[in-house]
Amino acid sequence: MEFLYEYGLFTAKAITIVVALLLAIGGIVSLASKQKSGKGHLEITSLSEKLEDVADYSRSMLLTKEQLKKHNKEQKKAEKQQKKSAEDQVSSHLFVIDFKGSMDAHEVEYLREEITAILTIAKPEDEVLVRLESGGGVVHGYGLAASQLQRLCDKKIKLTVAVDKVAASGGYMMACVADRVLAAKFAIIGSIGVIAQLPNFNKLLKKSNIEWEQHTAGEFKRTLTMFGENNEQGREKFKEELEEVHQMFKGFVQEHRPELDISKVATGEYWYGSRALELGLVDEIQTSDDYLLRANEQRKIYSVKYSMKKNIAERLGFAASTAIESVLVKLWSMQNNLFK
């Protein structure tokens, strides 16, 4: 009985704290929500300088004064030689974009701005590296994201996509556009398939004596519904539409990677990097970090990022979610200590 009492007391405290936080912060957020979001801005930073800073710091910590002095002397000599030969060489740049996609692919708005910025300054000898991470999402969103990457290819700018964690479904639709696809050994690749699902509450509504009416104009304006009674005709049409999207997806991948055995890889399955390489879904097993380190020896690397300024409501909302998460973690820790 004492155990149940302590557990009930703990639960009541947890609920009270979370509700109080939600009410307090929610009130402030609602007052500030009328503010308009600030305009976005483009950020271009030198990754080459950051890498060099890391190298300088590492050398200063690990080398002796004599070794460091010798290295600096050799580096100055190398820089002089490089300057002399620079006039005869065509300098090139590597532009880096980070794309971490969500289900609705709203990040494509930022991707659009980043690619537009690159296209205004990129030369044919330049290259774009997209560090891609996405498990896929809505068809139209990722279709547009892939089209944004296609803009680079249309302008004959070399495009490389690096997948360190996952590029599945819509994520792979984006990746396959690239001239070269890199993947970490255990990155998740593939899932060339289409899925759609929704619950149906019709039986529950009938049991509660609730009627649901839905009126449409057009035989297949609505194939399946969450609240009405679905029929086989609607189900078959829904499946037909899914199959049509799948055929479009397969055709898109086949167009960009014609060497693929599409019937073998377009089953909806996913594979890890090593197996994806064997199947031809990717071109090389390599992380984006290693690729950047190698590239930095030959060219200047710049990160291109489009950011949107958040208004007060958005900033407070983020702070609220962070605070609540922190409280829940602490409560969970207290609970573990209480019931050991």
Total residue count of the chain as it appears in this document: 340
* Tokens 């590296």, located at residue: 129
**Other residues' Cβ atoms within 10 Å of the Cβ of residue 104:** 12
Which helix (H) or strand (E) segment is 293 a member of?
helix 288-295
Could you give the count of Cα atoms lying within 13 Å of 275 in the half-sphere of its Cβ?
Answer: 11
Q: Could you give the angle at which helices 47-62 and 65-86 cross, rounded to 10 degrees? A: 150
Which helix (H) or strand (E) segment is 49 a member of?
helix 47-62
Which SS3 state, helix, strand or coil, does residue 43 take?
strand
- The sign one gets for the Cα dihedral 83, 85, 90, 91 is negative
* Tokens 């189900």, located at residue: 235
d(CA 225, CA 91): 58
- Residue in 193, 151, 191, 142 with CA at minimum distance from that of residue 168: 191
Q: Tell me whether residue 221 is one of the annotated catalytic residues.
A: yes
Q: Tell me whether residue 309 is one of the annotated catalytic residues.
A: no
- Residue in 264, 82, 246, 90 with CA at minimum distance from that of residue 173: 246
d(CA 281, CA 176): 8
Catalytic option among 134, 158, 169, 288: 169
Which SS3 state, helix, strand or coil, does residue 258 take?
coil
- Residue in 307, 321, 308 with CA at minimum distance from that of residue 29: 321
Contacting residues for 276 by C-beta, under 8 A, at least 6 apart:
183, 187, 189, 190, 282
d(CA 195, CA 242): 7
Catalytic option among 156, 221, 263, 340: 221
Active site residues: 169, 221
